[in-house]
Chain A
């Protein structure tokens, strides 16, 4: 069965610190990979996506993620976080065969100004 695990549920960082959020998924077939973000009081929105090709993908607001096929991982990174990055982040693999996107439990990031 398809599953996804996010390693950190709560992360607190100071501005300018580097960020890495872990995500591992389990699925035997072809998946597309997404990170979504939910800012306080706002709806979920796409941060970045990976379908194929270069395993290092860049998204909005300086975020990037690296797909490592052998580890079934799709970790999110940002070299220097800002206070405005305070939000909840969701890793979401999508089974392209059945079009079923499974969301991780989410990581709440709080950035101290």
Chain B
């Protein structure tokens, strides 16, 4: 079956702009989590959605937001981009909310210039 699909794979944006990243989970998976991966900070948890509800949120500023649609697809948005937002953004889907076993996409590489 198809894996987790993230689009786009690469993005270059200018400081101050906003960006929207998309994630399509594995069919049947209702939980979607987002992570930011950087060389200095590693994998940082952004937020998790289950059945269109945000159930958990990491320690990121309000510029980072997300949502989940009824088909479980998820988007995350970053407004007023800063240079420090340059990172690999990973999406992970899970079939349920209990086990935590996650399947990751290839990620979206965001570069802010």
Contact = CB atoms under 8 A, between A and B. Distances in A.
A45 B101 CA distance: 10
B63 interface: no
Interface of B: 31, 33, 35, 42-43, 45, 48, 50, 55-56, 58, 90, 92, 94, 97-107
B57 to A, nearest CB: 9
A83 interface: no
A104 B42 contact: yes
Contacts, number: 61
Contact of B42 (A34, A49, A100, A106): A106
Contacts of B103: 46
Contacts of A46: 101-103
B84 to A, nearest CB: 18
Nearest to B40: A105
A51 B99 CA distance: 7
B31 A99 contact: yes
B56 A90 contact: no
A101 B104 contact: no
Nearest to B59: A1
A104 B44 CA distance: 9
A31 B35 CA distance: 19
A96 interface: yes
Smallest CB-CB A-B distances: 4 pairs: A94-B100, A103-B43, A44-B104, A100-B56
